[in-house]
Amino acid sequence: MKKVHVSTTINGDNKEFLCDTRETLLDALRDHLALTGSKEGCGTGDCGACSVIFEGEVICSCLALAVEAEGKNIDTIEGMANDGKLHILQKKFLEHAALQCGICTPGILMASKSLLQQNKEPTKEEVRFWLAGNLCRCTGYDKIINAVLDAAKEMRETV
Amino acid sequence: MRYEAPQTLNQAVNVFSEFNGLKRILAGGTDILVQLRTDVIQPELLMNIKDIEELGKIELFDNFWKIGAGVSAANITRNKEFSKEWPGITEGVGLIGSTQIQNRATLVGNLSNASPAADGVPALVAANAMVEIVGRNGNRKLEILSLISGPGKLNMKSDEFISHILIPRQNKNSSDCYIRFIPRTEMDIAVVGCGVNLSVENNNISAVKVVLGAVGPKVIFSEEASNSLLGASLNADSLSKLQEICERDAKPIDDKRGTIDFRRKVAGVLAKRAVEKAYKRIMEDS
Ligand SMILES: Cc1cc2nc3c(=O)[nH]c(=O)nc-3n(C[C@H](O)[C@H](O)[C@H](O)COP(=O)(O)OP(=O)(O)OC[C@H]3O[C@@H](n4cnc5c(N)ncnc54)[C@H](O)[C@@H]3O)c2cc1C
Ligand code: FES
Ligand code: FES
């Protein structure tokens, strides 16, 4: 089958790949660009494990086509830590033990990052609603919510 | 599968109308990507309309709102002026999926997927919204009830697609509301939905449209329920009459999400609540 050439920006770097038009963005990230941080939990938009930030908004990469990445800006979990230094959210997830198996974690971190970009001081309820599309089978959510609230607090204090 | 992402509406009309094969529009992709994955459809052409600037806008004209087919649900609910004027349409749009889904899904996609349970549709019908359709022979406008012909089916020719939704300006002393019933608090498909648009004059109802979702092969405009409220004041009598008619007008199916009897009952209750809520909104504004 004829492949399409896609040129895109991922975590600030120019990337190019060849893909089939039916391929999802998630598959392209994982299979063509070796960015396997984004996970496939369901493939149907229900679990959020594949969350990436696409043109500034968090989306499910399993519900976008790889060809849609042409000319766009995408942030994935691989770009979250800076030069080996963890993002405040990542540190707070460790501190609060907000992960166990870790499959949901990259998606939850990306969704939380996008929340804190748009709302510096979310309430507990706002965090819960924002993350309603990110399922976690392990933690019971409380620790995740607390980690996000704590990260928001620290980010407000440090700037 | 051929993929196209035209930059202008003109290009899009040409690409889409000239292609003779199985073709689909890609808006937010939150329905169609799932359908592609499961091979429910295998289009030979998929045309992405999100890069078309003129379809990405919410515009306000003297007597109507114009929402482009590429506008995401999040951009509708974020629009303060629109959501203040049409809180019910905004409620319906805001219920579509999670944050991630909201950032992609479009109202036109919700409508075009033509699921009987689509949350965006009942309040649009109640508001007398129309769609603008583009095709080889120019534009035409169509009422939403005439657009949807059944589950997953639209009355459109093969060269046509929807460019905009047109929503009239809300009248004075009027408001709308959408409520749905789901077994969970978030992320679920409506078992029943109800959209209402209501106008009040001297404490009496002067105009009303009651629309039920998920209780038939397509949305149901209950003319009888609407007429029963016309000229009446809102009281226990008029509300229980409304409830009774909606229970009757609902034509649901039995499935794992709810039995026929349950859905009929819920349709009546939701209609009553939606009317009360729209009424309360009018009183609070005046
Ligand atoms: C996890 C999840 C949760 C969801 N929750 C809800 C919910 O709570 N309530 C609800 O109502 N829906 C829900 N949905 C379904 C879906 O998100 C909505 O129906 C959404 O509005 C579809 O819009 P879209 O832009 O993504 O459509 P797309 O998938 O892009 O398109 C849907 C269909 O419409 C056609 N189409 C799109 N645009 C046009 C156009 N301009 N002209 C002609 N045809 C067009 C497409 O070809 C396709 O057949 C959910 C989906 C997921 C994955
Ligand atoms: S894998 Fe994308 S939402 Fe589950
Ligand atoms: S940590 Fe295992 S699914 Fe969330």
List pLDDT tens digits, range A2-35.
899 999 999 999 999 999 999 999 999 999 999 9
Q: Is the CB of B69 under 6 A from ligand 1?
A: yes
Which residues fall within 8 angstroms of residue B278, CB to CB, at 6 or more apart? B88, B175, B176, B177, B196, B197, B198
Which residues fall within 8 angstroms of residue B114, CB to CB, at 6 or more apart? B148, B149, B150, B151, B152, B153, B154, B218
Phi, psi of B226 (to 5 degrees): -65, -45
Instruction: Choose, out of A59, A68, A126, the residue to mutate when testing the contact with B (most B CBs < 10 Å).
Output: A59
Do B124 and B182 belong together in one domain? no
For residue B244, the domain's CATH number is: 3.30.390.50
> What CA–CA distance (Å, rounded) separates B133 from B191?
30
Count of structural domains within chain B: 2
Domain that holds residue B249: 174-285
pLDDT at residue B183, as a whole number: 85
Residues B83-139: tens digit of each pLDDT: 999 999 999 999 999 999 999 999 999 999 999 999 999 999 999 999 999 999 999
Report the CATH superfamily, name and number, of domain A4-79: Beta-grasp domain (3.10.20.30)
Do B43 and B131 belong together in one domain? yes
Take residue A74 and report the two structure tokens written for it.
């995408």
DSSP bridge pairs for A5: A18
DSSP code, position B176: E
pLDDT of B226 above 90: yes
For residue B113, the domain's CATH number is: 3.30.465.10
Model confidence band, residue B263 (pLDDT cutoffs 50, 70, 90): very high
Domain ranges, ordered by start, for chain A: 4-79, 88-158
Residues of A in contact with B100 (CB under 8 A): 45, 48, 51, 58-60, 63, 111, 133
Do B18 and B140 belong together in one domain? yes
Residues A71-126: tens digit of each pLDDT: 999 999 999 999 999 999 999 999 999 999 999 999 999 999 999 999 999 999 99
Choose one of B168, B203, B234: the last residue of a domain. B168
Do B150 and B180 belong together in one domain? no
Report the CATH superfamily, name and number, of domain A88-158: [2Fe-2S]-binding domain (1.10.150.120)
Phi, psi of A64 (to 5 degrees): -125, 150
Which of A64, A114, A132 is facing B98, going by the closest CB pair? A132
Do B16 and B156 belong together in one domain? yes
Which ligand neighbours the alpha carbon of B186 most closely? Answer: 1
pLDDT at residue B186, as a whole number: 66
Do B141 and B211 belong together in one domain? no
Number of residues that make up chain B: 286
Q: Does A132 touch chain B (CB under 8 A)?
A: yes
Q: Rounded to the nearest whole angstrom, what is the distance from the C-alpha of residue A100 to the centroid of ligand 3?
A: 5
Rounded mean pLDDT of B12-19?
Answer: 98
Q: Rounded to the nearest whole angstrom, what is the distance from the C-alpha of residue A101 to the centroid of ligand 3?
A: 5
Number of C-beta neighbours around residue B254 at 10 A:
11
pLDDT at residue B285, as a whole number: 85
Rounded mean pLDDT of B208-215?
Answer: 97
Model confidence band, residue B277 (pLDDT cutoffs 50, 70, 90): very high
Do B246 and B263 belong together in one domain? yes
Q: Does A72 touch chain B (CB under 8 A)?
A: no
Which ligand neighbours the alpha carbon of B114 most closely? Answer: 1
pLDDT of B279 above 70: yes
- Judged by DSSP in three states, B81 sits in helix
> What CA–CA distance (Å, rounded) separates B115 from B123?
15
Residues of A in contact with B74 (CB under 8 A): 57
The answer to whether the Cβ–Cβ distance between B100 and A60 falls below 8 Å is yes
pLDDT of A1 above 70: no
